[in-house]
């Protein structure tokens, strides 16, 4: 098998394509979370604190003029939001799986040997 065909086979596996889709969606979701932190949470919750520090954005928080700890705080908020949303998604998925598992499975049909043994048992009970 040539290297090109081997690479094509590898690249077209379902897992690789799924991973690519996940990365693209993850990047888009990251932008949504960043916007949520920068445009919603920061203005609503942190605005009084930022105004007291005479700042407009969380990222503008600095220490000694060079250490941008506001960027770090923003990244931590992004992480917490992403982790919480993923937690809720996984929790919902697990709840749906649990409902599927709770459905009672029909007992398996007896095999021919089990049927034969049951007939022998019944015959012995009748004679005994």
Tens of pLDDT, residues 58-103: 677 777 877 777 788 878 877 888 788 778 878 888 888 877 767 6
Alpha helix (H) residue ranges in the chain: 3-11, 14-35, 47-52, 69-102, 112-127
Query: CA-to-CA distance for 113 and 101, rounded, in angstroms?
Result: 30
Tens of pLDDT, residues 33-61: 778 877 887 677 777 877 777 777 767 77
Please state the pTM of the whole predicted model: 0.49
Domain boundaries in the chain? 3-103
Mean pLDDT is highest, among 2-16, 19-33, 98-112, for 19-33
Partnered with residue 83 across adjacent β-strands are none
Decide if domain 3-103 falls under CATH 1.10.1200: yes
Token pair for 77: 């908020």
> Mean pLDDT throughout 115-120?
87
């Amino acid at each position: 098998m040539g290297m090109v065909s081997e690479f094509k086979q590898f690249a077209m596996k379902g897992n690789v394509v799924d991973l690519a889709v996940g990365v693209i969606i993850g990047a888009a979701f990251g932008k949504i979370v960043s916007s949520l932190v920068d445009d919603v949470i920061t203005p609503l919750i942190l605005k009084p604190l930022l105004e007291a520090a005479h700042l407009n954005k969380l990222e503008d928080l600095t220490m000694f003029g060079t250490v941008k700890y506001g960027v770090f705080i923003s990244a931590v908020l992004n992480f917490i939001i992403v982790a919480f949303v993923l937690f809720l998604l996984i929790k919902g998925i697990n709840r749906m799986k649990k409902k599927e598992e709770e459905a009672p499975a029909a007992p398996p049909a007896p095999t021919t040997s089990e049927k034969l043994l049951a007939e022998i048992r019944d015959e012995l009970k009748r004679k005994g």
